[in-house]
């Protein structure tokens, strides 16, 4: 089912002490789409999810699900299933009873038991169906909460940090299974997470939020390659994007205030102070017009992370091969023009350069 948020805001308190948790957020989510709300703690993603679920009142704007306005409805009337970050399991009930609790009794006992077994197998909790929440680990409780949500018939599935308590290896396995289940059933889901890997692995599109403001909403690959602003550029990616100051001197562009930067195929929009962004994986080591001093060289088993002291800043480069340079040694590096990102230093907005014909 489609979900639409139109100019949604959430404010806690009034007057000078008011906290604007969500500011004028608009999103249109297509039927069968998985969307991740991604951001750091306090960015507004959980408040947005709770407004969709009906646990928080909308301060301004509206929310529609499958074409009907739901922001004025009680949570139970919205046909929404939610997996809570805090689990919210019923202590007197077993895991199996918790999973089957929200299922319609018209399904019959046999069908309910079958559905419980199937979702428990998917999430590797078949062996704890008879146990009660008090005897479970945090990861087991989290999977039980997720199973209860996915077992239900709903128009929308809300997943609040659904795998945050799981071990990395199990998390990697289960997010693939959960995504496959959601896609196979044609479900619409909104995932809240602070984990970029989880967002990239599960979501069709990602909505990055900061300070209550929607920064960018697009597919993961587009967000990485075409960030809308400097915040998104440095928030997305690990290691984060390198940022270096640029200045204009007439028709010249100066890197770090003194080094002329030759741009043969890009004509940048007029802006006096610019910022250059370089992804660590796109920096070429051992070749190029720039020279710095190696600050550290870490081999992580499958790639090298090399920190280079350059123009009073650290530039981090990632290489798939081992780099022979030790700390304190000089190293040349460079980048292809098509791999460079440019931003307005004052506004932080991305600048799209005009390609100059060859």
Beta carbons within 10 angstroms of residue 310's beta carbon = 20
Q: What is the pLDDT of residue 353?
A: 60
pLDDT digit string, tens, across residues 47-86: 999 999 999 999 999 999 999 999 999 999 999 999 988 8
Mean pLDDT for the chain overall: 91
Cβ-based burial of 202 (10 A; exposed 0-12, middle 13-18, buried ≥19): buried
Angle between helices 138-151 and 109-122 (to 10 degrees): 130
The C-alpha atoms of residue 287 and residue 284 are separated, in whole angstroms, by: 6
Q: Looking at the chain, how many residues does it have?
A: 358
Average pLDDT of the segment spanning 194-200: 93
Residues 222-273: tens digit of each pLDDT: 999 999 999 999 999 999 999 998 887 766 777 876 777 766 555 666 666 7
- Is the pLDDT at 358 greater than 50, yes or no? no
Which range scores top for mean pLDDT: 24-28, 88-92, 194-198? 24-28
Measured between alpha carbons, how far is 190 from 171 in angstroms, rounded to an integer? 18
For residue 147, which of 203, 185, 96 has the smallest C-alpha distance?
96
Is a pLDDT exceeding 90 seen at residue 2?
A: yes
Delineate the domains of the chain, giving CATH numbers in brackets: 3-234 (3.40.50.300), 239-355 (2.40.50.140)
Q: What pLDDT score was predicted for residue 264?
A: 57
Burial label, 88 (beta-carbon count in 10 A; 0-12, 13-18, 19+): middle
Task: Please compute the mean of the pLDDT values over residues 91-119 and round it to a whole number.
Answer: 88
Mean pLDDT for the stretch of residues 160-166: 89
Distances (CA, A) of 321 to 161, 207, 297, 324, 348: 35, 34, 12, 10, 34
What is the per-residue pLDDT across 312-346, written as a single tens digit (0 to 9) for each? 899 999 999 999 999 999 999 999 888 989 898 88
Token digits for 299? 């081999």
Q: What mean pLDDT comes out for the span 308-313?
A: 92
Q: Quote the pLDDT of residue 229.
A: 96
pLDDT at 71: 96
Which one is predicted more confidently, 357 or 99?
99
pLDDT in tens, 138-151: 899 999 999 999 99
Which pTM value belongs to this model?
0.90
Q: How far is C-alpha 133 from the geometric centre of its chain's CA atoms?
A: 30
pLDDT at 357: 44
């Amino acid at each position: 089912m489609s979900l639409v948020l139109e100019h949604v805001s959430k404010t806690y308190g009034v007057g000078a002490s008011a906290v604007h948790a969500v500011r004028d957020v608009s999103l249109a989510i297509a039927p069968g789409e998985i969307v991740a709300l991604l951001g750091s703690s306090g960015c507004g993603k959980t408040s947005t999810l709770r407004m969709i679920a009906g646990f928080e009142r909308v301060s301004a704007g509206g929310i529609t699900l499958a074409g009907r306005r739901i922001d004025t409805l009680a949570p139970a009337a919205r046909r929404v299933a939610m997996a809570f970050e805090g689990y919210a399991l019923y202590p007197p009930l077993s895991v199996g009873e918790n999973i089957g609790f929200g299922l319609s009794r018209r399904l019959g006992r046999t069908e309910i038991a079958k559905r419980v077994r199937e979702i428990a197998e998917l999430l590797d909790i078949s062996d704890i169906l008879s146990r009660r929440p008090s005897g479970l680990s945090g990861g087991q409780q989290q999977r039980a909460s997720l199973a209860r949500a996915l077992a239900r018939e709903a128009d929308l599935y809300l997943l609040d940090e659904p795998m945050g308590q799981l071990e990395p290896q199990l998390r990697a396995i289960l997010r693939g299974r959960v995504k496959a289940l959601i896609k196979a059933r044609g479900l619409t889901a909104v995932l809240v997470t602070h984990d970029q890997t989880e967002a990239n692995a599960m979501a069709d599109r990602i909505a990055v939020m900061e300070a209550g403001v929607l920064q960018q909403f697009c597919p993961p690959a587009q967000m990485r390659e075409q960030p809308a602003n400097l915040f998104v550029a440095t928030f997305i990616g690990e290691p984060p994007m390198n940022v270096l100051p640029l200045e204009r001197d007439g028709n010249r562009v100066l890197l770090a205030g003194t080094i002329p930067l030759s741009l043969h195929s890009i004509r940048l929009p007029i802006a006096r102070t610019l910022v250059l962004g370089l992804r660590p994986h796109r920096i070429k080591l051992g070749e190029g017009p720039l020279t710095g001093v190696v600050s550290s060289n870490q081999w992580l088993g499958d790639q090298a992370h090399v920190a280079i002291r350059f123009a009073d800043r650290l530039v981090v480069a990632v290489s798939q091969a081992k780099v022979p340079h030790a700390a304190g040694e000089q190293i040349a590096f460079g980048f292809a023009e098509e791999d460079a990102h440019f931003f307005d230093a004052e506004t932080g907005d991305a600048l799209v350069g005009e390609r100059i014909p060859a």
